[in-house]
């Protein structure tokens, strides 16, 4: 039970952080431009990750970068797609609807990735319960965006 609670808290906190990052990056984009916003946000992330990595872990396992599958390097590009979408959508449809659609998109791709075991993940077959959850989320998104 305690493990489930920890998972829930971590998931909810990360969702809240995603929810806060969108409006913050939108402010930067509106005042300076989208590319400037992308640069500022990602530079902040680089600094926060790189400083402790270099200071406390002496570079960690950065030297193992060549062992990664080629497609994982697209993660940064995907981050830019998310960033651009959030920066575009929040002023158009609001933070609530934007986050709802993002969550629906995450659920959709999560179901597919679980079912097929993409990206070295364990296979977790699609089920009626997941279908019901997906339908409820889609209905919620539709109601929210109207």
Residues 24 and 81 in one domain: yes
> pLDDT value at position 57?
87
Distance CA 117, CA 6 (A): 24
Each residue's pLDDT tens digit, 14-61: 888 888 888 898 899 899 998 899 899 999 999 999 999 998 888 888
pLDDT of residue 28: 93
Model pLDDT, residue 82: 87
User: For residues 84 and 74, is the Cβ–Cβ distance under 8 A?
Assistant: no
Please indicate, yes or no, whether residues 75 and 99 belong to a single structural domain of this protein.
no
Rounded-to-integer distance, Cα 30 and Cα 140, Å: 29
Mean pLDDT taken over the chain: 89
Do residues 22 and 98 make contact, with C-beta atoms less than 8 angstroms apart? yes
101 and 132 share one domain: yes
pLDDT in tens, 68-83: 999 998 988 888 888 8
Residues 6 or more apart whose CB falls under 8 angstroms from that of 28 comprise 36, 37, 40, 41
| pLDDT higher at 28 or 8 | 28
pTM: 0.75
Name the DSSP letter for residue 61: T
pLDDT at residue 112 above 90? yes
Residues 54 and 34 occupy one common structural domain: yes
Residue 36 and residue 16 share a domain = yes
Q: How many domains does the chain have?
A: 2
Out of 57, 72, 93, a domain closes at: 93
**Same-domain check for residues 21 and 73:** yes
Instruction: Quote the domain boundaries for residue 50.
Output: 1-93
């Amino acid at each position: 039970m305690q493990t489930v609670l920890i998972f829930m808290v971590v998931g909810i906190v990360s969702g809240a952080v995603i929810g806060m990052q969108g409006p913050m990056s939108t402010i930067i984009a509106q005042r300076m431009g989208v590319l400037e916003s992308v640069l500022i946000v990602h530079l902040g992330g680089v600094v926060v990750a790189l400083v402790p990595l270099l200071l406390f872990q002496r570079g960690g396992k950065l030297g193992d970068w060549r062992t990664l599958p080629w497609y994982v390097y697209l993660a940064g590009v995907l981050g830019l797609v998310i960033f651009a979408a959030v920066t575009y959508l929040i002023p158009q449809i609001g933070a609530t609807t934007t986050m709802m659609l993002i969550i629906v998109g995450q659920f959709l791709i999560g179901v597919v990735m679980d079912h097929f075991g993409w990206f070295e993940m364990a296979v977790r077959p699609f089920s009626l319960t997941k279908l019901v959850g997906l339908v409820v989320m889609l209905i919620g998104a539709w109601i929210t965006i109207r």
